[in-house]
A and B are shown apart, each in its own frame.
Chain A
Amino acid sequence: EIVMTQSPDTLSVSPGEGATLSCRATQSVSSNLAWYQQKRGQAPRLLIYAASTRATGIPARFSGSGSGTEFTLSISSLQSEDFAVYYCQQYNNWPALTFGGGTKVEIK
């Protein structure tokens, strides 16, 4: 099983500032990596797939990078609606998908 590890667990950010979230895989997942945003009481929403491709309707302030085992989700100039939990997920080992433990982005 490919284990996904996210860091940090919690990130405190002021509105308008940027944020960088990390995700590491225990073995290479190539670029088969997605990021999801989940707000309390809601279903996850796809943000990024193929490591760096924004999903339909996702604002340009969200960007993804990386390949192999190291990945990053960057959010520039956080808006109030961006405070949520973010999960990375690999789909290289299809269809046994695995998710990271999540990073909570909270208001500082």
Chain B
Amino acid sequence: QVQLVESGGGVVQTGGSLRLSCVTSGFSFSTYAMHWVRHAPGKGLEWVSYIWSEETDKFYADSVKGRFTISRDNSKNTLYLQMNSLRAEDTAVYYCVRSGSSRQLDYWGQGTLVSVSS
């Protein structure tokens, strides 16, 4: 079955960095586009970033552009999110999400919590 397992979250000070990982299994990772979506406390869901299957296209929400970098290693079936210059408003649960054949977000990981404190 499809599984996505995030890791790398934690507590970091304002201005710090974290690298999130998402190890996937149960599907042909290299043929699927992937997203990161976050959920801040008391708020709704927010799309963060997208990467095409061959890493040729990457897109970011304006709120993270220039600070976050999405990447993937198809040989390891793993998705990454490098987060730099973290701000308090980046505090959220970060989900790794697969993009289905009709562009729907069809499988989600369990999420990893990032907490940015001053």
Contact = CB atoms under 8 A, between A and B. Distances in A.
B59 A102 contact: no
Contacts of A87: 44-45
Given A34-B105, A49-B102, A91-B103, A98 B47 contact: yes
Interface string B47-86: 1001000000001010000000000000000000000000
A61 interface: no
A94 B103 contact: yes
A89 B45 contact: yes
A62 interface: no
B103 A99 contact: no
B35 A50 contact: no
A69 interface: no
A43 interface: yes
B118 interface: no
Which range holds the interface residue count of chain B?
20 to 34
Closest 9 CB pairs of A and B: A49-B104, A95-B50, A43-B108, A97-B47, A99-B45, A101-B44, A91-B103, A95-B59, A34-B104
Given A44-B45, A102-B44, A89 B103 contact: no
A7 to B, nearest CB: 14
Interface of B: 33, 35, 37, 44-47, 50, 59, 61, 95, 100, 102-111
B104 A55 contact: yes
A105 to B, nearest CB: 15
A36 to B, nearest CB: 7
A46 interface: yes
A43 B102 contact: no
Contacts of A89: 45, 105
B61 A91 contact: no
B106 A46 contact: yes
A89 B45 CA distance: 9
Nearest to B44: A101
Contacts of B95: 43-44
